[in-house]
Amino acid sequence: MNSFKELSMWNGFKKMLYRDLLHSTKNLSQLMNPLLLFILISASFPFAINIDENQLMIIGPGVIWVIAILSFLLTLNNLYKDDMEDGSLDYMLLSAQPLPVLTFAKILAHWFLSGLPLVILCPFVSVFYQLSIDVSMLLSLTLLIGTLALSLIGSIGASLTISSQNNTTLLSLLVLPITIPILIFGAKTVVLYQNGHTSLTGLYLIGAYCMFALSFSPFVSAASLRIGSD
């Protein structure tokens, strides 16, 4: 019992993060499939429309953002569901560590494993849409901040649907309307940059939204996990 009390909040946070990162690497297909889907849908868009270089450049940032969100939604289901099924969520609820700290660690781990790979893939996918290097870098930058915000908002949805049946569709239905500001800020920043406007405003706004989500998401997720696992 004493050893539990000696574990500081920061240590608990680190252990949770490490455990989640390790846990996810054991199930690689769960990580890879949404990423493959991201590439595949991005590649199938040009088949459906006129392959005109200008047109691809115009729709590129928006399409990549939407596909990123959609493939990201597929990963959210695993955020708390696995822990609930194998019972480790109960230990999290019972532990001496504050639950918001633990959920924040889980959110960060989820972002590392689902958000960052999207950011890394983004420059390659940009090639499909004939985006220039600066545009594709800016797009990656917006995705970098935006996916963290997505992880934060998605965590709320995942914790709300923890006790629901067939929750993948429901989860998307709940999370998608709330992520619209992220989509607007993220994709429009790139579009405005393409049209010769400054991109700083958009970056500030998406950063502000991310901080805003950070201020409430771990607490809301923790509260709904407590209610949901009753």
Is 230 a residue that touches other proteins (CB under 8 A)?
Answer: yes
Please, what is the minimum distance in Å from the beta carbon of residue 142 to other proteins?
14
Residue carrying structure tokens 């997720």: 221
Cα gap 60→28, rounded to integer Å: 29
H-type alpha helices, 95-199: 99-110, 116-128, 133-160, 167-178, 180-194
Residue of 156, 6, 113, 128 lying closest to 64 (CA atoms): 128
How far, in whole angstroms, is CA 185 from its chain's centroid?
A: 15
Nearest to 70 by CA among 113, 41, 46, 112: 41
Query: What is the sign of the dihedral through the CA atoms of 108, 113, 119 and 120?
Result: positive
| C-beta closer to other proteins: residue 110 or 188 | 188
Site string for other proteins, 127-156 (x = CB under 8 A): -----------------------------x
Nearer residue to other proteins within complex by CB, 40 or 180 = 180
For other proteins, the closer CB: 55 or 163: 163
Among 77, 188, 190, 218, binds other proteins (CB under 8 A): 188
- Report the 10 Å Cβ neighbour count for 194: 19
Instruction: Please say which residue, 24 or 110, places its beta carbon nearer to other proteins.
Output: 110
What is the total count of residues that contact other proteins (CB under 8 A)? Answer: 32
- Least distance to other proteins, CB of residue 227, Å: 5
Q: Determine, following the binding rule CB under 8 A, whether residue 192 of this chain makes contact with other proteins.
A: yes
| Chain residues that interact with other proteins, rule: CB under 8 A | 156, 160-161, 163-167, 170, 173-174, 176-178, 180-181, 184-185, 188, 192, 197, 201, 205, 209, 212, 216, 220, 223-224, 227-228, 230
